[in-house]
Amino acid sequence: MKIVKRLVIILVVAFAVFYLLLRPQDAANAVQTVIGAIWGAGEAVVNFFTALAGS
């Protein structure tokens, strides 16, 4: 199982490097999208707890 996990990690890293080198603008857009989604989720959690504390 360790070999499969290591192989998957190597393939993901290789794909990321390949994507970054050949399509840097698309890679940047993908990173911005992921960061935006994480930021939005964080804001939603903060809004939830703020509303919960205000009740």
pLDDT digits (tens, 9 = 90+) for 7-27: 999 999 999 899 899 999 998
Confidence of residue 54 (pLDDT cuts 50, 70, 90): confident
Mean pLDDT of the chain: 93
Determine contact, residues 50/42, Cβ cutoff 8 Å. no
Q: What is the pLDDT of residue 8?
A: 96
User: Is pTM, for the whole model, over 0.85?
Assistant: no
Determine contact, residues 20/27, Cβ cutoff 8 Å. yes
- Confidence check: pLDDT of 55 > 90: no
Q: Which residues, 6+ apart, have CB-to-CB distance to 26 below 8 Å?
A: 19
End-to-end CA distance of the chain: 49
Give the total number of structural domains in the chain: 1
13 located within any domain: no
Give me the domain span that covers residue 29: 24-55
44 located within any domain: yes
